Structure 1
Amino acid sequence: MDQPRAAARLRILLGQLGRRSAGAVIAHPTSGAVPPAGFHPQQFQYTRDNSVLTLEQRQFYEDNGFLVIKKLVSDADIECFRNEFERICRKEVEPMRLVVMRDVTIAKSEYVPSQKMITKVQDFQEDEELFRYCTLPEVLKYVECFTGPNIMAMHTMLINKPPDSGKKTSCHPLHQDLHYFPFRPSNNIVCAWTAMEHIDRNNGCLAVLPGTHKSSLKPHHYPQWEVGGG
């Protein structure tokens, strides 16, 4: 472009910039940007915008760190998962990389292996039936509200709660899962937990401390339970 034409365009541009009118666009620094009309400040840190959760449910999760969806998984599916767990206990199936954990105090007291001595099976992703829980559309629909559509199962686990043998070996102290998880970001991690039978305070239900998801990680150690307690 020749100099006369460039000078002319520059004069036009400077003239436009110097003109002030009611409809003129005013620039603002990005560090203090003025929000457009109708903009609402982001109030949800742990949930995603979608049509699944209500505003009340999202706010409850933001405040408390958990959300209860009743009767989400069908009784028929839960029965299938229970039957598969019993097959694992009887060693009728032994999926690769499955970790079976036993209560040593119960195992030593039984002559025949049974589900009463097995307290947990971990990493069941190779078991087709148990992993089906991680693919249930009704579960994924809610998980996506917290993680987005790119979902990955990272820690598959089935917990069994047989009666304590009197050694407090079935007691599990309060803890923060994030202390044990080596992956981040933490705001994209959510646990989908389903009870396989009716639970209450008397038979070892899941316990949470509302709001602690917003606090920092605490020191973790295993407490010195009193031996022989009820």
Structure 2
Amino acid sequence: MDLVQISRKPYKYIHADSKFTNWQKDFYEQNGYIIIKDNINYELIDELNQRFIDICEGNAEDAKCQIIKDPILKKKGAKGEFVVNKLQEITYDPILSKYSSEKSLLDVIENIIGPNITAVHSMLINKPPDSEPDISKHPLHQDLHYFPFRPAHKIVGSWTAMQKVDESNGCLYVVPGSHKSPLYKHEYPKGSNNALYHGITGKEHLPRKLVILEKGDTVFFHPLILHGSGPNMTKNFRRAISVHFADSNCQFINVAGTVQENIKKEVEDILRHRGIELSFEDGWKMKSKLIKGPAGNFQRFDSHL
């Protein structure tokens, strides 16, 4: 990938010193996402995949991540990789964390948000076969709904396919250009109670672009872009690994009284139910991890008080 051509054109969504080509800058600026082919090498992906299986089967005593199970498949008695649909906070796992520090990934992240990089949310997503469609899919949403920090253009998500992903096994879809929209109100879709899987209604008519990827391809996307994913309709797994990164100096905001108030309340209620008294904002700081550059607001618990 050519990362040497520097444009003099002012960009709103790309870091000022980005070494993306003019075409790459223009594409991200206009569409809110960009696909980098062969971004992560097969050897690392295979290592991450084996780590996932080891964790699912209880063969990783040093694992440091949160295991989320598909509630329907759990009731059916599924075990191991057939019941786990997500590993969260993987940046602290000794093996899975290799993804968030991979140079080929960080080179792209730096070209979008700059050199001061904090990993703010991380997960390995597994769509097992035989799950219910409403559990397996993710409704149309904007990731910024979950984040109490700004500015939005200093946040970017990475999503890497661990094998080919297409419409049959539940690939991502995006609404190109929707990153220029405001943050919409998110709620649970009618009939759904999949915890924290909020979505947007009234935007289903907007044209969508399927993000079809081969193993090792990565899509990078702005946190305001409208996107989601379909269910896995195959008899095989569909796996991807994803991390959201932010400029370490992003400012934390109080989302009370805004369209994000419901997610703040729900998250704090979940934590309180677990015996944890922690604000929505400080929760994001606690699970973030400095990746590159000096410490910033994510590493200061009094930065927004």
Unaligned runs of 5+ in 2: 1-6, 193-230, 234-305
1:165 Cα deviation from its structure 2 partner: 2.9
Partner of 1:84: 51
Partner of 1:210: 176
Tell me the distance in 2 between the aligned counterparts of 1:70 and 1:60: 15
1:110 Cα deviation from its structure 2 partner: 2.2
Tell me the distance in 1 between the aligned counterparts of 2:80 and 2:41: 26
Partner of 2:159: 193
Whichever residue aligns with residue 139 of structure 1, its letter is L
Larger RCO: 1 or 2 (CA < 8 Å, sep 6+): 2
1:91 Cα deviation from its structure 2 partner: 1.8
Tell me the distance in 2 between the aligned counterparts of 1:72 and 1:160: 20
TM-score (norm 1): 0.75
**Which stretch shifts more, 76-85 or 156-165?**
156-165
Partner of 1:150: 116
Partner of 2:22: 55
Contact kept, 8 Å, 1:52 with 1:141, in 2: the verdict is no
**2:140 aligned with 1:174, yes or no?**
yes
Taking the TM superposition and a 5 Å limit, the aligned residue runs for 1:1-230 are 42-50=9-17, 52-93=19-60, 98-110=65-77, 113-166=79-132, 168-225=134-191
Structure with greater proportional strand content: 2
Contact kept, 8 Å, 2:32 with 2:178, in 1: the verdict is yes
Whichever residue aligns with residue 90 of structure 2, its letter is F
Tell me the distance in 2 between the aligned counterparts of 1:66 and 1:51: 15
What RMSD, in angstroms, separates the aligned Cα atoms of the two structures? 2.2
Tell me the distance in 2 between the aligned counterparts of 1:71 and 1:189: 22
Tell me the distance in 2 between the aligned counterparts of 1:141 and 1:66: 16
Tell me the distance in 1 between the aligned counterparts of 2:134 and 2:14: 37
Whichever residue aligns with residue 183 of structure 1, its letter is F
Contact kept, 8 Å, 1:164 with 1:170, in 2: the verdict is no
Q: Percent identity?
A: 40
Contact kept, 8 Å, 1:102 with 1:119, in 2: the verdict is yes
1:30-86 Cα shifts (integer Å, max 9, x gaps): xxxxxxxxxx98531111244641101100000100000011101111000000111
1:179-222 Cα shifts (integer Å, max 9, x gaps): 10111111100111101010111110011111111100111112
Distance 1:52 1:41, change over 3 A: closer
Tell me the distance in 2 between the aligned counterparts of 1:96 and 1:198: 26
Number of residue-to-residue matches in the alignment: 188
Contact kept, 8 Å, 2:18 with 2:110, in 1: the verdict is no
Unaligned runs of 5+ in 1: 1-39
